[in-house]
Structure 1
Amino acid sequence: MGFIWTAHRFSGGALALDVANSVVLRFDPERRIDRFADAAAMDAFAEAANRYGAERERFGTLVRMRPENRQIFIGLREAADRHFRALVRSEARPDLLADLLEAIAAVMRRSERSATGLPLDAATAHSALGLIASPEPERLKICPNCQWLFFDRSRNRSRTWCDMAVCGNRTKAKRHYRRNKEGIQP
């Protein structure tokens, strides 16, 4: 496997959002990368979430899901992405919420806690339920640089990027380059 899960890949602030963000360049068909296309990367994600995930204390140790649950898990990922993206854009639709709830139910029916921890699919379903029930849906945002979903946990709700060290710096560097190229002083 050539891909390594880093802290940046867990910038969503909620496991369900980090899972949704596992599709890089989601809306660019030519450059789109599904990090879960490789089963080994999906398993490694569960292990990395134990180190970097924002909800690691909530769920305890995450473990790999059963291989037969992978397709249902991908359905949950896609339903979560559609629903939360629409919610952020103030385009929430009852059918997208229903799809997400059905995907959560499908995962919950097939997943069971193991002696070593909670499977990734079940934890993701719980995370999505927590986001649905959140009293502050306005904290859900989309990064203007990479289009990832994230939950703004900042005190004043002013977070702009999924990760300031990556997307924030890239945006600021582009702006600085453009100003210097055009001769505009800040």
Structure 2
Amino acid sequence: MTFSWTPHRFSGGALALDVANSVVLRADPQRRIDRFSDAATMDAFSSGANRHGAERDLFGALEPVDEPARPGLVRLREAIDRHFRAEVLGRGKPALLADLLDAISATLRISGERPQALDCATARSALMLLSRPEPERLKICPNCNWLFLDRSRNRSRAWCDMAVCGNRVKASRHYRRNREEPQP
């Protein structure tokens, strides 16, 4: 099966969230897919973020992570997911924040000389998310469970991507409703 980094894969609204969302079906151990487990797919993420990422103008042209820094990017990704997911669910803990800050610090120490490297840009994106003025804009998609920023004017965005998750939920609801109603 071939895989490509499509616009939907960058619906998080921030590079740090898009990196966290590189694990598909995170909560389901049997079906979980880690897109960064393959080095070529991890390397291709930078190109996808350059084309489709919401913060592509902030960081310039992103470059793949050096091989020795890959475990650090995965550690950073997991710390981002744990901290921000807990915050959205109202279960934030100082220890999760400390782990995230530690992962950010380690990443910047290693890759700080390469500000365009994916890991360095992801760390900077996570710092920007930590300092965001409206934390209630961070949400979890009820369909795919991805983290995303609600940038809608009235803060009413329900899904990470209306064209994918929103349509799936609406189609499923329509199917159930039509199946339950008796046909004349």
Distance 1:40 1:113 in 2: 23
2:117 corresponds to 1:132: no
Partner of 1:74: 74
Match of 2:36, SS?
coil
Question: Which digits, 9 at most, give the CA deviation of each residue in 1:108-157, with x for residues without a partner?
Answer: 0000344xx70000000000000000111100000000000001111111
Give, in whole Å, the separation in 2 of the partners of 1:110 and 1:128: 16
Give unmatched runs, 5+ long, in structure 2. Answer: none
Whole-Å Cα distance in 2 between the matches of residues 95 and 112 of structure 1? 24
Rounded to whole Å, the distance in 2 between the matches of 1:123 and 1:7 is 19
Measured in 2, the distance between the counterparts of 1:113 and 1:130 equals 19
Structural mapping, 1:101-180, within 5 Å: 101-114=101-114, 118-180=116-178
Name the structure 2 match of 1:97: 97
Q: Distance in 1 between matches of 2:45 and 2:64?
A: 9
Distance 1:166 1:91 in 2: 28
- Which letter does structure 1 place at the counterpart of 2:83? H
- 1:19-58 map, 5 Å: 19-58=19-58
Q: Percent identity at matched positions?
A: 68
SS at match of 1:40: helix
* Aligned-partner Cα distance in 1 for 2:155–2:139: 10
Q: Which runs of 4+ in 1 moved over 3 A?
A: none
- Determine the C-alpha separation between the residues in 1 that align with 2:20 and 2:65: 17
- What SS does the corresponding residue of 2:16 show, helix, strand or coil? helix
Q: TM-score, normalised by structure 1?
A: 0.96
